[in-house]
Amino acid sequence: MSVEVVCAGVLVADTFVPPLPRLPAAGELMATGGFWHDSGGCAANTATCLRKLEVASGVVGMVGRDAGGDFVERDLQSKGVDTAGLRRSEQLATSETVILPVTGDDRRYVHTFGANAGFRVEDISREQIAAARVLYVGGYLILPGFDPAAFRALLAFARAQGVYTVLDVVVTEGGGGWESLAAVLPEVDYFTPNNHEAQVLTGETDPLAQAQRLLVAGCGAAIITQGERGALLARSGQVLELPAFGLPMVDGSGAGDAFAAGLIAGLVRDWPLRECLRLASAIGASACTKLGCTTGVFTWAEAQAFLKEAR
């Protein structure tokens, strides 16, 4: 299957707990509604959202040779995502996350990194990239097998084929990662961190200052997502700021991945950059309206209707 977008990076088997009024006390049994099981991680979420937006997508990443890996593969296939690039680790189990949303508070995650630790740049097919329109990589900086020099060479190869490169990251609370990021930014067309990630990486608190430092480091365009405060895009000679769309918040999981999918869906349709950003903001907001990373994400028809009404 030929895909327009190759989505590489973190893959996870997710378990979502319905929103809780509070975290249970030690030893307390708290009853709740049914849990939600889904394929997740940056690569899976973005590819799933793209399929909802009628963009052919495929994942490249690593799962274990276990029941969790079987679930992730079957679930993605059921959503129309190409899984030819799925790799299986013989030593490491599939990554899993339990997501605990708390009403009026930020969500908590309990995570095992699993097979993502075995994923390498060399696992990404250059042949598949050359046939695509976009290479998206999600979860950089928590992929220990990603050598920055090899990754930069892969991004440079993609751009030489006329393929857009879109990068998203996950940062740890301990900070760090700037050197690994700066090593690859000159080959990144669009970098899409949230404002917390950008602050950890750049040391700047203001989104425009964050974006400017990222541009100086070499990326083509820096897009800083700010939740309810909207998004800021900066590139050479241009700054765009868009407010957030006011949709009801149920679960913010996956909003950044959905935002990236909306941006990419606009890029492959050759939309003007401002319209790509509007679409990205709408898709990111829609992800927050239901439990799960992709459950509430607009379909292509719903997105078009929403954007028309929102003008």
- Three-state secondary-structure class, residue 161: coil
Entry pTM: 0.94
φ/ψ of residue 268, rounded to 5: -70, -15
Torsion of CA 41, 195, 311, 296, to 10 degrees: 20
User: In the chain, where does DSSP find H-type helix?
Assistant: 42-52, 67-78, 126-130, 148-160, 178-182, 195-202, 207-216, 255-268, 273-286, 300-310
Looking only at the bridges linking them, the beta strands covering 164-169 and 108-112 are unpaired
Beta-carbon contacts of 25 under 8 Å, excluding residues fewer than 6 positions away, are none
What are the residue ranges spanned by the domains of the chain? Answer: 5-21+35-310
Residues 5-21+35-310, CATH architecture: 3-Layer(aba) Sandwich (3.40)
| Interval 47-57 mean pLDDT | 98
pLDDT digits (tens, 9 = 90+) for 182-210: 999 999 999 999 999 999 999 999 999 99
Residue in 88, 138, 143 with CA at minimum distance from that of residue 116: 143
Cα separations (Å) of 88 from 63, 84, 115? 5, 11, 8
Q: What is the number of other CB atoms lying within 10 angstroms of the CB of residue 28?
A: 8
Beta-carbon contacts of 306 under 8 Å, excluding residues fewer than 6 positions away, are 245, 282, 286, 298
Find how far residue 306's CA is from the centre of its chain. Answer: 22
Q: Report the percentage of the chain scoring pLDDT > 70.
A: 99
Which letter does DSSP use for residue 20 in this model?
B
Q: Chain-wide mean pLDDT for the chain?
A: 94
- Three-state secondary-structure class, residue 13: strand
| Interval 209-214 mean pLDDT | 97
Residue in 281, 266, 169 with CA at minimum distance from that of residue 230: 281
According to the model, what pLDDT value does residue 53 have? Answer: 98
Residue in 12, 226, 257, 19 with CA at minimum distance from that of residue 110: 12
Please check the confidence at residue 228 and state whether its pLDDT lies above 90. Answer: no
Tokens of 80: 């129309």
| Tokens 């990603």 found at | 146
Residue 310 vs residue 67, higher pLDDT: 67
| Tokens 């740890």 found at | 172
